Structure 1
Amino acid sequence: MMGTTLPTPLYGLYRQQIGFSELIVTVVFAAYAVGVIVALLVAGGWSDVLGRRPVLTAALGLSALSAVCFLCESGLPLLYAGRVLSGLSAGLLSGTGTAAVLDLAPPGRRGRAGLAATAANMGGLGLGPLVSGILAEYAPWPLKLPFAVHLVLLAVALVVLLLLPETVHHTGPRPSLRPQGMTVPPEVRGVFAPCALAAFAGFSMLGLFTAVAPAFLARTLGERNLAVAGAVVFTVFCASTCGQMLMATVGARRSLPLGCAVLVAGLLLIGASLYLKSFPVLLAGAAIGGVGQGMAFRAGLTEVGGAAPAEHRGATISAFFVVAYVGISLPVVGVGAMAVTLGLRVAGLVFTGCAVLLVAAVGVHLGRNLPRRADSR
């Protein structure tokens, strides 16, 4: 997962080297979400058929190919290819890796195993910009060394993976490899729509930080240190992990409106930081918004998974993730398009204003209308 966010602090360097607009930066970033969505729709259930280890091996291979694209980069085509490959890798890895961790957990430790998988997922996403920012700022070969380090880490991960036992075994004929697709049964739609909208808005905030935070810092706040830019993005993902951990304590139903409220507070601080040109306020907005996003996302996933009938649960959860990853891409591209004519600061303010209205409306709806199931934890 670390490889998917490695390029975040480097987009400014690519702009200087290749020469393209902020809109192209966001389109390059969004190519990752295309890969994730394709992997979720086509191969979401493949590990249940082929086994966990083959799919995880394929995910590591795709991630390595992505790193090679960035190492050999000589223009936009390889940047696009690297991002799509990275998205395909993440789409295979996130669900299969979580399933493998749960499969290998001892009896009575599945809850802790699920939390470990979540922490590894979000922690990897946070470490990517932190590591590449530090290497790009203080080490040689800023556009090469981060991806060379990533290839070494992937090799270590492959060795560990090959030592793990396979947990999927078929006694009868192997099922066919049919695309999982998306299904939202009618009885789930009342819960799915607001929960998915909350995920959409929360992921759009993550996308904003991952795609254009370094440019915001450099142009609007005057902070050009790439290590600092990576640390800001790292803060968002760490805070999201903390929010997901809080959900287990608060309970899913209460976490949905509460997470939306916290996310609104974070978005307001992000908007204020752009208006006031204040780095401390931006950092506070990143931390608070990340906590709210983590709470709302995990609670929404819990509610949707619990409401879906067993025969459609996998496809319904895939639909939930697809909406989330549309949220991480389309709004960010919109920010890039607005930035071309309005400037990055005004585009950021418009984005945060729209996101606040959406999240506030969803939070009020969830607080009033979510069916009163037993809290899932």
Structure 2
Amino acid sequence: MAGTTLPTPLYGLYRQQIGFSELIVTVVFAVYALGVIAALLVAGDFSDVLGRRPVLLVAVGLSVLSAVCFLFEGGLPLLLVGRVLSGFAAGLFSGSATAAVLELAPAGQEGRAGFAATAANMGGLGCGPVLSGALAQYAPWPLRLPFLVDIALLVAAFAVAGALPETVARRTPRPPLRPQGMVVPQQTRGAFVPAGLAALAGFSLLGLFTAVTPSFVAQTLGVRNLAVSGAVVFSAFCASTVGQSLMGRVGVRRALPLGCLVLTLGMALVATSLLTVSLPVLVAGAVVGGLGQGLAFRAGLTTVSAVAPQEHRGATISAFFVVAYVGISLPVVGVGALTLALGLRGAGLVFGGCVVLLSTGVGVFLVRRPLGTG
């Protein structure tokens, strides 16, 4: 997952080298998210049929191919191909790896396993910008070395994934592999809709930090240290992991609405940082917003996983991630388009207002009608 956000602090360097607008930066970012969504819709249930381990190994292989595209990048086309392949890999991972971790958990440890799965997801996404930002700022080959390190890590991941026990029983005859689209069984829909909307709002915040914040830090705040840009993005994902760790104490029923309302506060702080041109306020918004996103995300995923039938668990989790990645892609492209008319600050303020309305609405709804899990 770290490889999917590895290019985040490097977009400024790519802009200098290739020459493209802020809109293209968000498009390059969103192409990754569209790749995730495509993989989830087409292959979201493949691990339910083929097994978790084969799908994980294919995902690692696609991650390696993505890194190779960035290594030999000579313009925008290979950047786009690399991002699409990275999206395919993340899409395969999101449902299958989460389901595998939950199924490998000993009896009574499902809650800890759920935290391990979501923390690895968010923690990996946060580590990518820190790794590439530090290497690009302080080591040679700023557009090559991060991806060489990524490939080395992926080789290790391939070996570990290959040694995992399989958790899916082989069925004879094997069911055919068909794209299932959005699989949301009837009994899960009452929980899926509010949990999905909370995930959409939270991932919208993460999308803003991943795609746009490095440009804001460099162009508006005048901080051109790539390690700082990576650290700002990392703060949001790190806070998300902390927020996920708090869910056990808060409880699923309270964590989902509370996460939405904390997310609202975080997004308000981000908007304030745009108005006041303040790096400390931006970091505060990242931390508060990340905490809210983490609380809501883990509570939503835990709820959806608990109510999904075993035979459709991987597909249902994949559908949950589809909704989340819609939030991380389409709104961010909208921000990029708005920058052409309103500038970076104006577009960010409009975006922030939309996220505040959505997260507040979902939070208030869940306060009045809490879900029945936990």
Q: What TM-score bracket applies, with the shorter chain setting the length?
A: over 0.9
In 2, distance between residues paired with 1:177 and 1:69?
29
In 2, distance between residues paired with 1:306 and 1:163?
27
After superposition, residues 123-138 of structure 1 pair within 5 angstroms as 123-138=123-138
2:134 maps to amino acid: I
Match of 1:22 in 2: 22
Q: List runs of 5+ in structure 2 lacking aligned partners.
A: none
Q: Deviations over 1:38-68 (max 9, x none)?
A: 1111111222222222211111110000001
Contact preservation (8 Å) 1:191, 1:370: no
In 2, distance between residues paired with 1:138 and 1:244?
32
Match of 1:166 in 2: 166
Q: Deviations over 1:340-362 (max 9, x none)?
A: 12110111111112211221122
Contact preservation (8 Å) 2:94, 2:321: no
Q: Return the TM-score normalized by structure 1.
A: 0.94
In 2, distance between residues paired with 1:63 and 1:245?
28
After superposition, residues 352-367 of structure 1 pair within 5 angstroms as 352-367=352-367
After superposition, residues 198-347 of structure 1 pair within 5 angstroms as 198-308=198-308, 314-347=314-347
- Count the aligned residue pairs: 374
Pick closer, same or farther for the CA change 1:285–1:96 going to 2, 3 Å.
same
- SS across alignment from 1:236: helix
Q: Return the TM-score normalized by structure 2.
A: 0.94
In 1, distance between residues paired with 2:118 and 2:190?
26
Pick closer, same or farther for the CA change 1:223–1:258 going to 2, 3 Å.
same
244-253 vs 303-312, greater mean Cα deviation: 303-312
- SS across alignment from 2:133: helix
In 2, distance between residues paired with 1:116 and 1:314?
17
1:367 maps to amino acid: V
- SS across alignment from 1:74: coil
Aligned-pair distance for 1:142?
Answer: 0.7
In 2, distance between residues paired with 1:125 and 1:328?
13
Contact preservation (8 Å) 1:221, 1:279: yes
Match of 2:9 in 1: 9
Aligned-pair distance for 1:119?
Answer: 1.8
Pick closer, same or farther for the CA change 1:168–1:362 going to 2, 3 Å.
closer
Contact preservation (8 Å) 1:204, 1:327: yes
Aligned-pair distance for 1:308?
Answer: 5.0
77-86 vs 40-49, greater mean Cα deviation: 40-49
Q: Deviations over 1:13-37 (max 9, x none)?
A: 1111111100000000001111111
1:271 maps to amino acid: A
Matched, 1:141 2:141: yes
CA RMSD of aligned residues (A): 1.9
1:262 maps to amino acid: V
In 2, distance between residues paired with 1:309 and 1:48?
12
Contact preservation (8 Å) 1:181, 1:318: no
In 2, distance between residues paired with 1:24 and 1:309?
41
In 2, distance between residues paired with 1:167 and 1:308?
17
Match of 1:179 in 2: 179
In 2, distance between residues paired with 1:258 and 1:117?
21
- Which consecutive aligned stretches of 4+ in structure 1 deviate over 6 angstroms post-superposition? none
In 2, distance between residues paired with 1:123 and 1:16?
29
Contact preservation (8 Å) 2:48, 2:311: no
After superposition, residues 65-214 of structure 1 pair within 5 angstroms as 65-170=65-170, 172-184=172-184, 188-214=188-214
349-358 vs 25-34, greater mean Cα deviation: 349-358
- SS across alignment from 1:219: helix
In 2, distance between residues paired with 1:170 and 1:309?
18
Q: Deviations over 1:235-270 (max 9, x none)?
A: 111111111121122111111221111101101111
2:57 maps to amino acid: T
Contact preservation (8 Å) 2:122, 2:241: yes
165-174 vs 154-163, greater mean Cα deviation: 165-174
Pick closer, same or farther for the CA change 1:323–1:285 going to 2, 3 Å.
same
Aligned-pair distance for 1:302?
Answer: 2.9
1:120 maps to amino acid: A
In 1, distance between residues paired with 2:318 and 2:157?
26
